[in-house]
Structure 1
Amino acid sequence: MWSVIFGSFLSYSPETRVFSATGVPEITIMSPSGESVFTNSKVEFTGKISDDLSPPDKLLIKVFEHTTDSDQAIDITNGGQLTLTPNDQFATFSYLKDFSEGVHNVTFIVTDGDGLSSTSAQTFTVELSETAEQTTNTSKTSLTQTSVEKTESQLMVVTPEVNSLTAGEIGQRPYMSNMFLIPRGAEGEYNPDKVPNNYLPADDMTRVPLDSQILLDIRSVLPFNPTQPLITFFGDSTGKEKLVKTFALPGGITSYIYIFTPEKENLDPSKAYYVYLNPNELIPRLLKFTTVSNNYENYQFDADKGNVDREKDYIHGPYSVVTNTCSFCHSTHNATSQILEGGKYGTVSGTNNLCMACHDGTNGTPELESNYATNKHNQVPDVSCTSCHDPHNPGTKENPNSLHTTYKKASTATGQVNDFSLCFTCHNKDENANIQQYYQNETFTSQSGHNITATSDSGSKLNGQFPCAECHETHGSSNIKMLRTNLGNVKIEDPKLLFESKSVNWDALDERNFCLKCHNNSTAIFGKASTFKDKNAVGEQISGHQTEDKQSCASCHGGTSQSFIESAHAPKRGIHVTIP
């Protein structure tokens, strides 16, 4: 549904504005009129954008299409030709694209630098005559693949002519579009249009084959020739990366395909690997995956099955095929609980202890991170591993961790409330800190400094509130509130720069320390620098922003409640009091 992608955008108003606050950008489609019918495939939209506070060349336009066979809206911005012409107080734009025959629903979104957005939707129909359809089919061009060879002296790359308008739209920095875990030697099968079934998405994937290597799809409108490795940290090992091919994409964009091969012949079994992108070459990202154990190396996704159950999953089903696996965790005659806990591997009472009988690294299973003991979820009554995970679900490539419902991270999150429904199963009540309201209530989302639209050259789809995993470690951390020590998606080598909280209760010092780990005028989150200014626009010093200040961030950015919960999840923007 539209609300899954755009949240309150499309449900708030039938007009083009989302919020009524001053300073929100506006967008108007001037042509074509709604419900138009076209007899050729090329459709051109024209319109106008403006904003009270931002110059028109600082506004970002995105175009999405909603199809009847999917609940997900598709970003089609780069599939057409977008032209922006700034004026003093506004900018006009045109968007030209080939559409297939049938009814189309498209939405234009304009976003300012603070992440405030407005939308305008159009429905139209393409009815091609037989002659027009033949012309369209013969004029379409497919992706152009170019082989490349890297020598010690030079990198031979065929680079398409850069379209300056497209370049201005998607940004000047190269970005990672995709990262996959693939079998060694399978890189020749990759095509941006169709990903092979035996490729695994890297982020949060489990039971990854030990002979895997990493494929990186880097997109850029300018020639890309990195001077440093693209991966800065990969577990505790190193590897080699190599450019293997390029693809010329529509709009003057080039897809550079790199392969990163670990120096070891195989990855270590039952291990969590963390992959950081080099912030000097790309906008920083962090991805994590876990390898399969030695005992169950053969129980993998069948290459031709796509996103279906692991038919050969030995421990977690499917039980219609391997019913004797029930005895690993359950015992019919010797159980110690109502759910018959106490099988071969579950000899200790308690759901969490039952899971940890294996997930402590024994019995050949992937070891849960060492932070398990500090997982605050374990200290809440009636909360256990099965509150989030379904032990009877063997998992799929789309849901490898067998989660009950949706939990998205930076790679896939759009920032809407449905992306984090797993967290909000519990965190939607006062006694559990009602965090859902900061993602759902328009009063909070409209003024939230953490409600942003990622820059298009970040490779992220975020257009809303921060993903929970940007700040929290799901399985526990050494910090209060399960907060991450390594913030900002950049690998931090100096332990003094990590975030560490010593107090039992959250206080002003903890809050300032936490916020300033990102708000330091240099850390880029989703392509945007996290600012912290000591002076306002007219040069006056801002109260609470001086080095010697000990003031809580929530005292200004916590809204009417002045609470750390509000200042962290929906910080009120622009509430700056100057020093007399």
Structure 2
Amino acid sequence: MKKVGLLHKTKFQILVILVLCIQLLGSLQIFPVTIVKGEELNGTVPEITITSPKTGDFSNETNLTISGMVENFSAGAPIILYDGTEKIGTTNEVIGNSWSIPVILTEGIHSISAKAEVEGNSISSNSIDITIDSTLPIIRFVKPNNGGYLNSRNIEGTTEPSSTVDICMDCTEDSEGQVVGTWMSVPADSSGKWTYQDSQLTEGSHTIYAKATDQAGNNGNHNKVTFTFDTLRPLVLPDIFPKQEMSQVPLNPTIKVKISDANGLDEEVIENSIILSHNGINDEGTISYNSTTKEITFTPAETLLPSTKYNVFISPLGLIDSAGNRAIPRFWSFATISLTSETHLNPHGSYGKNVNTCGNCHNTHQAKDPNLLSPTVAAGSSQKENLAVDSYCMACHDGTVAPLPENRLTAHTHNAAVNKEGKPSGSSCASCHNPHLDWSERNPNLSQDYIAYTHLPSNPVDPNKPTEKISSKEQLCESCHENDSAEKIANDDVEYRVFQYNKSSTAIGIYEDYDLCLRCHNGDFKQKYDKMADIASYYNNLTELLKKQYETVNGQSSFSMREITAAEKDFSRHIIKAMDGSPLAGHIPCAECHDTHGSNNIKILKGSLGHENVQSFTAGETDSKIVKVFIGADEHEFKILSDAKEQEFCLACHNGTTAIYGVTGQKYDSTLSEHKDYPNKACSYCHGRGESELERALSAAHAPKRGLVPTQ
């Protein structure tokens, strides 16, 4: 019994010990037995990589060697290459962890990967995409075509995507067909398009060679095109009909323009080249084109209306040459004949047939004026007394019997009335027009005329007789020659002149082109009439005498063909050489900034500025400022544009896009230090010259200078 109890005690003790051991060891980690799986070896992860070629590589060889590296790799394990899912090569040789497998690939894109079995498990490399391309790249020209024209400096083409294109401009081929010259490279984009720009390309015929090297290193054969580089726009020559501002035009005219261009015109659009209109309505007609003479004619479908102003617009949409250059637009107007039943050329009536015509303007018995001009003003009329005779002009020139002067009914009109002697006259119209003249092509608008004669010294000397050139614009002949004036005027030595008011198709840019305006706006008149601006001094560097002297040496019409000199540019930045076929090679005409008869803008400034990219401009009374100027001992007030409005006026042309006579105005550069320092100043502050704001404003408007900040 005792033995049995002892045995039970012993078993109980063993059980207690085991429980205690379990409790003591329960919180300790029991490590499992480590088993090396296929993706591990010696506790590290095995890797296989492809090192050559790189993904995205191109090759022009079909026989390639694919190389790579292994890490923690079992010796003797085979490496297998796949192209997608297709097995293409294998190797058991791994030397210093490096391996390589030669393969043969076909043309195209391949996705290559390497695989191996390690410890019974499969591992795989990164996948690379490579392109096999042994085809030579083909170069194609998109612009220009062989034998065609190019009107920009960009030469465009296509080839294989992302290739390098080599260009050789105006090179030659030797006897073996090798191109001799200097090659320049340009890249093709991801679509294969490429562009080469040659800033030195000159007008005329050229040959360009091009070849491509693709991403695989294939060198393609060269291609070439021969083309004509032509950026010159078709020009409308000054010899037009009807002429600019011509009056008394027949009612069945043929509008004619002649084009100057080295190449032919696109005859498919020529029907849109001439647009005739009146009162905002386009007139129907037929257009014909003589490709030999390059003359375009427009024949109206219906007889024109009498005493009507017509506008002619030469549209660039209808004048396009073989190179795709559009013509520079031109615009002018003419007026049809007033009296269809008369054959005489005097629009104011045939004095020989009806002397009573004089009574339309002159009052023999009641006029107080020495010229028998009636000063009578109709009741309620706003007409100034000394301009009352204008009412007689407007009685017909109201659009019924004769055309209404353009812009005559606007807010601001040209109402100066000064006769040849510099005295107030009875008519503003007659200040510029001579109603007694007969119509002629030379003077279709009856502009004021004058005669001049160089008096020779008398023998014996008569102290009362002049010995210099006397002009009737300075002194009337009748002041000395009362009875024999007609005989004297008929002398061959008497010079007859018409005051000129030339515009785009006739202005050369010399002083005499604008002497109808400058006969009043000059220094002499400024002294006589304190408020008469001296504009003439801004135009007196280029004269008819200078033109004649130049053409005596250089030939007829050479003055218009000359380049503008540095001295001329220093005198006025508004001296330009026309690029649109006009003869202008001098001062910009007055009519480019001012409307002749009137405008809704102050200073009769035009509401539309420029010939291309035309800009609108408005300037009312609130856009002006008053400046005070001393003339002698007297202080006078003058009205000029405000600083902001003057800037707006100048920038209407100086914006880099608006052009006159084919010349684009230089763009205002806001980054210049002077423009930053004086952002709100008028342009005349730096570009005008003179002691007062008025003088600087006049200078900058008519003869601007290089920018110079005043010192005062």
Residues of 2 paired with 1:278 and 1:333: CA distance? 55
**Match for residue 702 of structure 2 among 544, 569, 572:** 569
Percent of pairs with identical residues: 34
TM-score by length of 2: 0.46
Shift of 1:373: 5.3
Residues of 1 paired with 2:233 and 2:535: CA distance? 34
Tell me: CA distance 1:240–1:512, structure 2 relative to 1, closer, same or farther (3 Å).
Answer: farther
Q: Bigger radius of gyration, 1 or 2?
A: 2
Residues 1:176 and 2:276 aligned together: no
**Match for residue 454 of structure 1 among 578, 601, 606:** 578
**Match for residue 442 of structure 2 among 389, 398, 402:** 398
Residue type at the aligned position of 1:284: P
Contact 1:179/1:214 (<8 A) preserved: no
Residues 1:284 and 2:417 aligned together: no
Match of 1:100 in 2: none
What RMSD, in angstroms, separates the aligned Cα atoms of the two structures?
3.5
Tell me: CA distance 1:533–1:342, structure 2 relative to 1, closer, same or farther (3 Å).
Answer: closer
Residues 1:439 and 2:552 aligned together: no
Contact 2:689/2:700 (<8 A) preserved: yes
Match of 2:372 in 1: 340
Residues of 2 paired with 1:445 and 1:320: CA distance? 52
Residues of 2 paired with 1:462 and 1:176: CA distance? 13
Mapping for residues 34-183 of structure 1, pairs under 5 Å: 172-178=232-238, 180-181=240-241
Tell me: CA distance 1:478–1:460, structure 2 relative to 1, closer, same or farther (3 Å).
Answer: same
Residues 1:515 and 2:650 aligned together: yes
Contact 1:437/1:444 (<8 A) preserved: no
Shift of 1:402: 0.8
Residues 1:271 and 2:371 aligned together: no
Residues of 1 paired with 2:690 and 2:369: CA distance? 48
Deviations, residues 295-338 of structure 1 (Å, cap 9, x unaligned): x02446xxxxxxxxxx4436254x34543322332343454644
**Match for residue 511 of structure 2 among 399, 413, 417:** 417
Tell me: CA distance 1:475–1:314, structure 2 relative to 1, closer, same or farther (3 Å).
Answer: closer
Match of 2:346 in 1: 313
Residues of 1 paired with 2:668 and 2:345: CA distance? 56
Shift of 1:217: 1.0
Shift of 1:342: 5.5
Residues of 2 paired with 1:316 and 1:286: CA distance? 31
Contact 1:316/1:392 (<8 A) preserved: no
Tell me: CA distance 1:502–1:545, structure 2 relative to 1, closer, same or farther (3 Å).
Answer: farther
Tell me: CA distance 1:507–1:225, structure 2 relative to 1, closer, same or farther (3 Å).
Answer: same
Contact 1:371/1:478 (<8 A) preserved: no
Residues of 1 paired with 2:440 and 2:316: CA distance? 32
TM-score by length of 1: 0.55
**Match for residue 209 of structure 1 among 250, 275, 283:** 250
Contact 2:248/2:337 (<8 A) preserved: yes
**Match for residue 586 of structure 2 among 439, 449, 464:** 464
Match of 1:359 in 2: 397
Residues 1:501 and 2:619 aligned together: yes
| Secondary structure of residue in 1 paired with 2:675 | coil
Shift of 1:461: 0.8
| Secondary structure of residue in 2 paired with 1:206 | strand
Residues 1:488 and 2:610 aligned together: yes
| Secondary structure of residue in 1 paired with 2:700 | helix
| Secondary structure of residue in 2 paired with 1:378 | coil
Contact 1:472/1:483 (<8 A) preserved: yes
Shift of 1:180: 3.9
**Match for residue 234 of structure 1 among 277, 300, 307:** 277
Residues of 1 paired with 2:676 and 2:610: CA distance? 20
| Secondary structure of residue in 2 paired with 1:287 | strand
| Secondary structure of residue in 2 paired with 1:568 | helix
Residues 1:260 and 2:303 aligned together: no
**Match for residue 551 of structure 1 among 668, 676, 681:** 681
Residues 1:368 and 2:462 aligned together: no
Query: Higher relative contact order at CA 8 Å, sep ≥6: structure 1 or structure 2?
Result: 1
Residue type at the aligned position of 2:414: H
Residue type at the aligned position of 1:356: M
**Match for residue 327 of structure 1 among 333, 343, 359:** 359
Contact 2:686/2:709 (<8 A) preserved: yes
Stretches of structure 1 lacking an aligned partner (at least 5 in a row): 1-162, 182-200, 248-254, 301-310
Contact 2:685/2:709 (<8 A) preserved: no
| Secondary structure of residue in 2 paired with 1:460 | coil
Contact 1:406/1:422 (<8 A) preserved: yes
| Secondary structure of residue in 2 paired with 1:212 | coil
Residues of 1 paired with 2:246 and 2:297: CA distance? 18
Contact 1:286/1:490 (<8 A) preserved: no
Residue type at the aligned position of 2:617: F
Residues of 1 paired with 2:392 and 2:362: CA distance? 10
Residues of 2 paired with 1:390 and 1:339: CA distance? 14
Residues of 2 paired with 1:490 and 1:354: CA distance? 39
Residues 1:297 and 2:340 aligned together: yes
| Secondary structure of residue in 2 paired with 1:367 | coil
Residue type at the aligned position of 2:371: I
Contact 2:612/2:659 (<8 A) preserved: no
Match of 2:484 in 1: none
| Secondary structure of residue in 2 paired with 1:544 | helix
Deviations, residues 63-96 of structure 1 (Å, cap 9, x unaligned): xxxxxxxxxxxxxxxxxxxxxxxxxxxxxxxxxx
| Secondary structure of residue in 2 paired with 1:354 | helix
Residues of 1 paired with 2:274 and 2:674: CA distance? 40
Deviations, residues 388-436 of structure 1 (Å, cap 9, x unaligned): 1111112211101111112211111110101111111100033311111
Residues of 2 paired with 1:274 and 1:512: CA distance? 31
**Match for residue 387 of structure 1 among 431, 451, 472:** 431
Residues of 2 paired with 1:445 and 1:513: CA distance? 23
Deviations, residues 217-248 of structure 1 (Å, cap 9, x unaligned): 1111122216472246733232345233133x
Match of 1:244 in 2: 289
Residues of 1 paired with 2:705 and 2:644: CA distance? 19
Residues of 1 paired with 2:656 and 2:709: CA distance? 17
Tell me: CA distance 1:459–1:316, structure 2 relative to 1, closer, same or farther (3 Å).
Answer: farther
Residues of 1 paired with 2:233 and 2:568: CA distance? 31
Residues of 2 paired with 1:489 and 1:298: CA distance? 38
Shift of 1:532: 1.1
Residues of 2 paired with 1:461 and 1:314: CA distance? 30
Tell me: CA distance 1:551–1:571, structure 2 relative to 1, closer, same or farther (3 Å).
Answer: same
Contact 1:420/1:468 (<8 A) preserved: yes
Deviations, residues 430-471 of structure 1 (Å, cap 9, x unaligned): 33111110001488864311011122xx11111111111111
Tell me: CA distance 1:232–1:531, structure 2 relative to 1, closer, same or farther (3 Å).
Answer: farther
Residues of 1 paired with 2:330 and 2:510: CA distance? 20
Residues paired across the two proteins, number: 359
